[in-house]
Amino acid sequence: MNEPDKKIIIVGAGIAGLTAAAYLSRAKYDVLLTEKNKEIGGLVNTIERDGFFFDTAARSIENSGIVKPFLYDLGINLEIMNSPISVGIESDVINIHSEESLGDYKNLLEKLYPEKIEDIQRIVSFMEKMMKDTATLYGIDNPLLKDLKKDKKFLFKELLPYLGKFLLTVRRMNRLNEPVEEFLEKMSSYRPLTDIIDQHFFKNTPTSFAMGYFYVYLDYIYPMGGTGQIPKAIGQKIIEWGGKIQTETEISKIIPSKNQVIDINGNLYPYDYLIWCADLKTLYKRLNTHNLDDKISRKIKEQKEKFVSHRGADSVFSLFLGVDEPLEKYESISHGHFFYTPSKKGLGELNRSILKSLIDNFENTPKEEILQWLDKFCKLNTYEISIPALRDSSLAPKGKTGLEISVLFDFDLFKKVQEASWYEEFKTEVENRILKTLSNSIYPDIEEKILFRFSFTPLSILNRVGSSEGAIVGWSYEKTPPVANSLLKIYSSVKTPIPKVLQAGQWTYSPAGIPIAILTGLLAAQKIIKNKI
């Protein structure tokens, strides 16, 4: 039974919080969405500098049968375009346009590693199978975003015939949770080949996710005006439906025995239901369990211990450039979303055992040795490069180009550097080495054309959005995630042991991303609307 007189507080105005607030506002609940920053959107945002527009985290958005129907369901009319991907290694670049492009990728690998053709054929054959499974998962619009009582055509013509195939695919993919690095080692003993594939992903990414990712390349979309147009449009809908958004409001204490939260300025907010869409470690650290039932308190303590003992996934270093060169130069090289590896040698142990040793012995390691490691790391890594104006020419001044260059980067190393008081120096050294690497490879002499540059580090992400270990996709895969990690359990993923409190967002389900943020935000809202909390 609907209870629209109930007061809902939602903490965190990222995509999950915005989603929950939109659906509850539309259902006429009394909604207050709080956000600690000045702007909404969390990791999905677009910023401007000197006429150049940059997407701060998501370079494109994976549709997954979720994003487009979600926007349609809320009545949001953004101009959305497909966002084609390019993949490059050394001087060779392929453009991905269809599933047949996997053949181009196979040819590229065979050109680079002619002595390992049998291994490549075995790997690519498996990737083809996983692409088909991934395509099945995204095969129809997500039914949670459909009114099945009204849309009988979708129910009988699409959903029911699809369900059996979907369940078989999920079961098959759930059996492939082995880390992709370990899986590829069974396919080939040649480390440069396996590195060139797995260093695209976070450490220990499940095989089912990584090996099917070539299909995801075909599923990327991009809103005209930048990815930040999506949270902006959702926020406008929330206001239109009577919801309230309060920025620069950081919640410092949650008191479930009184159904209250308190912000860092001492302001108190009562609630009937609370949806936490921010970092889950933060929720449990700021939770006041006084006057709760002993059984509930024990469950909360167990959950807190589980979360605090786990880490966020790898973080990212992002370099933003304004370049005094026309778009045509970059258009001749790649699409606007480009995964580029400057060397076929692969990272080897640089990002694993060598990095771990460096961090463990940081205090006794000379700065020169750390910079030598950094030099190799930047030369051998894989970069995610985005050029917004190649998808929307209004996002850069005429005759100029803005580039966003990102690389997976360990949070702990930056933390150690900060503690040693050479954070700014190290950040500049990372920028310089990335620029040198790209200038000596795919973008000759780009260093000479730079109008301005700035960067975000893993610590920038921690400070801005409060994401543990600067993570951008929730929990690390290096241990079994402390949350639901099977699609069949996603409906229960939003529950917490805390009375009248639900959770949503990237920390709620693993693997995470924008589609999962939307689904968990929607599921949390539906539990309140259907009075199932």
The CATH number covering residue 267 comes to: 3.50.50.60
Question: Quick one: 166 and 261 in the same domain?
Answer: no
DSSP one-letter string for 172-193: HHHT--SBHHHHHHHH-S-HHH
Contacts for 366 with CB less than 8 Å, ≥ 6 apart? none
Contact (Cβ atoms closer than 8 angstroms) between residue 5 and residue 27: no
Question: Quick one: 272 and 364 in the same domain?
Answer: no
Written as six digits, the tokens of 373 are: 């490691």
pLDDT score, position 532: 84
Question: Quick one: 117 and 183 in the same domain?
Answer: yes
Question: Quick one: 90 and 193 in the same domain?
Answer: yes
Q: What is the mean pLDDT of residues 45-73?
A: 95
pLDDT tens profile 191-246: 999 999 999 999 999 999 999 999 999 999 999 999 999 999 999 999 999 999 99
Residue 399 has pLDDT above 90, yes or no: yes
Residues 123 and 172: their CA atoms lie apart, in Å, by 18
Nearest-5° Cα angle at 239, 233 to 244: 120
Least confident of 118-127, 133-142, 350-359: 133-142
**Confidence at 1, pLDDT banded by 50, 70, 90:** very low
Classify strands 7-11 and 273-276 as parallel, antiparallel or unpaired. parallel
pLDDT tens profile 280-296: 999 999 999 999 999 99
Contact (Cβ atoms closer than 8 angstroms) between residue 376 and residue 224: no
Q: Which residues of 1-13 are buried (b: 16+ CB within 10 A; e: fewer)?
A: eeeeebebbbbbb
C-alpha dihedral, 262 to 268 to 270 to 276, nearest 10°: -20
Cβ-based neighbour number of residue 75 at 10 Å: 10
Dihedral (CA of 309, 477, 42, 197) sign:
positive
Instruction: Please say which residue of 421, 439, 470 terminates a domain.
Output: 470
Written as six digits, the tokens of 139 are: 């095969």
Question: Quick one: 429 and 446 in the same domain?
Answer: yes
Per-chain mean pLDDT for the chain:
95
What is the number of structural domains in the chain?
A: 2
Residue 31 has pLDDT above 80, yes or no: yes
Predicted TM-score (pTM) of this structure: 0.95
pLDDT tens profile 72-105: 999 999 999 999 999 999 999 999 999 999 999 9
Question: Quick one: 26 and 154 in the same domain?
Answer: no
Residue 139 has pLDDT above 90, yes or no: no
In a domain, 240, yes or no: yes
Written as six digits, the tokens of 307 are: 């979360």
Instruction: Please report the beta strands in 210-282, taking only residues with DSSP state E, as ranges in sequence order.
Output: 220-223, 244-246, 251-255, 260-263, 268-270, 273-276
pLDDT score, position 2: 55
Residues 400 and 330: their CA atoms lie apart, in Å, by 10
Residues 33 and 388: their CA atoms lie apart, in Å, by 30
Rg (CA), the chain: 23
In a domain, 59, yes or no: no
Range of the domain at 14: 7-45+228-311+481-529
pLDDT score, position 486: 85
Written as six digits, the tokens of 203 are: 């450490």
Phi/psi zone of residue 373: left (φ > 0), alpha (ψ -120 to 50 degrees), beta?
alpha
C-alpha dihedral, 142 to 147 to 152 to 154, nearest 10°: -20
Q: Which residues of 491-524 are buried (b: 16+ CB within 10 A; e: fewer)?
A: eebbbbbbeebbbbbbbbbbbbbbbbbbbbbbbb
In a domain, 62, yes or no: no
Question: Quick one: 356 and 418 in the same domain?
Answer: yes
The DSSP letter of residue 494 is T
